[in-house]
């Protein structure tokens, strides 16, 4: 029996044509709708019942940063929805030779139905969106990684059955993952503890943004320096690499700073018995996480990675329709 995708309620039809630059641009009900649609699309994918909801649509994918999961999930996703994806390296585009972002946005708007960009500066993404007449998706910047957290929310919902009230502990650098997790947790009524050494916590401005969201959702954002305290009574332990792309020169300095922040089996044992381990990948086994953890039975990192596909298909089918 073929399952029909649920029709979007009128309140959700406003997603058409919207940009996705940060999770904070969306309401809780809109994220819930995207997650519900992602669940349906995942079931249909497993049953071999793909729907060509974006037949004839083309997504341009601009990459200034290298990628595995972002490129393959978006390219496969648009294809599975009946559309086409075009890989656009900044080394090949004229923006790599100095053409203004605004000009590129206007030109691509005449050719494409949507743009996904993975780059360094959030300002680049914002300028692209401000000048494009088609939806722009933030595939990653140094400030935010909203597509990853959309997939993370889907994974947590699958693991725990709910989002509201779930306790998450993020141990590691206060980077784009920490920023987007704070927004996601604050938006969805979750309790997030961010644990990092002094000098590596998220910016106060990002913490304050997330706390403003919890005032509406009922969630909680906490900053902690002791990993042993941070994991107490948590449902999810999440980590990321200590040195992100572009920070390679700081690698040794960061290894020393984060030495006591590795997620080990001993640390995981202090959390709830049914704790799940998450990592956005790629991972450095033996640095931020012990191999026994990431390859262990409590790890859901490959479920997480797969969910990039389903969450992004829900996003594309909603804003590019």
Question: Annotated binding residue at 202?
Answer: no
**Residue 118 in marked binding region:** yes
254 assigned ligand-binding residue: no
d(CA 266, CA 19): 42
- Is there a binding annotation on residue 45? no
Structure token pair of residue 168: 């998450």
Cα–Cα distance for residue pair 255/309, rounded to 1 Å: 32
Q: Is 238 exposed, middle or buried (0-12, 13-18, 19+ CB in 10 A)?
A: buried
Catalytic residue among 173, 240, 262, 279: 240
* Cβ atoms 169, 234 nearer than 8 A: yes
Judge whether 280 counts as a catalytic residue. Answer: yes
C-alpha closest to that of 77 among 44, 118, 28, 32: 44
Active site residue 145: yes
- Consult the annotation and say whether 69 binds a ligand: yes
Query: Does the annotation flag 195 for ligand binding?
Result: no
Q: Does residue 285 have a known ligand-binding role?
A: no
Q: How far is CA 137 from CA 24, 143, 241, 259, 266, in A?
A: 13, 14, 24, 35, 39
Catalytic residue among 18, 19, 80, 145: 145
Which among 19, 80, 113, 118 is annotated as catalytic? 118
CA-CA distances (angstroms) from residue 192 to 4, 12, 180? 36, 27, 11
Among 66, 150, 65, 84, CA closest to 74 = 84
Using a 10 angstrom Cβ sphere, with 0-12 exposed, 13-18 middle and 19 or more buried, the burial of residue 49 is: middle
Identify the H or E element spanning 182: helix 176-188
Any catalytic annotation for residue 308?
yes
Q: Which one is catalytic: 280, 290, 304, 312?
A: 280
In the set 254, 279, 308, 310, the catalytic residue is 308
Estimate to the nearest angstrom the gap between the alpha carbon of 67 and the chain centroid. 14
245 annotated as ligand-binding = yes
Active site residue 148: yes
192 annotated ligand binder = no
Q: Which of 148, 262, 304, 312 is catalytic?
A: 148
Annotated active-site residue 240? The verdict is yes
Is 197 flagged in the annotation as binding? no
Residues serving a catalytic function are: 118, 145, 148, 240, 280, 308
Residues belonging to the binding site are 67-70, 94, 118, 145-148, 176, 240, 244-245, 280-281, 308
Residues belonging to the binding site for L-ornithine are 176, 240, 244-245
Residues belonging to the binding site for carbamoyl phosphate are 67-70, 94, 118, 145-148, 280-281, 308
């Amino acid at each position: 029996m073929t399952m029909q995708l649920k029709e979007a309620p009128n309140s959700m039809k406003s997603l058409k044509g919207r940009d996705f630059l940060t999770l904070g641009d969306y309401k809780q009900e809109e994220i819930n709708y995207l997650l519900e649609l992602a669940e349906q699309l995942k079931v249909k994918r497993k049953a071999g019942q793909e729907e060509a909801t974006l037949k004839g649509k083309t997504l341009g994918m601009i990459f200034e940063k290298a990628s595995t999961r972002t490129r393959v999930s978006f390219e496969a996703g648009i294809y599975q929805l009946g559309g086409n994806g075009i890989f656009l390296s900044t080394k090949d585009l004229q923006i790599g030779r100095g053409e203004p972002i605004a000009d590129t946005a206007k030109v691509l708007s005449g050719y494409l139905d949507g743009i996904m960009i993975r780059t360094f500066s959030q300002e680049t993404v914002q300028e692209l969106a401000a000048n494009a007449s088609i939806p722009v998706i933030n595939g990653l910047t140094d400030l935010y990684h909203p597509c990853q957290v959309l997939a993370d929310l889907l994974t947590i919902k699958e693991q725990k059955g709910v989002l509201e009230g779930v306790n998450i502990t993020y141990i590691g650098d206060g980077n784009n993952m920490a920023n987007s997790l704070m927004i996601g947790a604050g938006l969805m009524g979750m309790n997030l503890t961010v644990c990092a050494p002094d000098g590596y916590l998220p910016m106060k401005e990002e913490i304050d943004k997330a706390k403003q969201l919890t005032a509406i959702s009922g969630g909680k954002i906490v900053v902690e320096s002791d990993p042993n305290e941070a994991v107490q009574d948590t449902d999810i332990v999440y980590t990321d690499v200590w040195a992100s792309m572009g920070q390679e020169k700081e690698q040794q300095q960061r290894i020393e700073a984060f030495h006591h922040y590795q997620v080990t089996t001993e640390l995981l044992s202090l959390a709830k018995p049914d704790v799940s381990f998450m990592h956005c990948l790629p991972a450095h086994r033996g640095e931020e996480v012990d191999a026994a953890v990431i390859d262990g039975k409590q790890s859901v990192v490959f479920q997480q990675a797969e969910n990039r596909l389903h969450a992004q298909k829900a996003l594309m089918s909603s804003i590019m329709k």
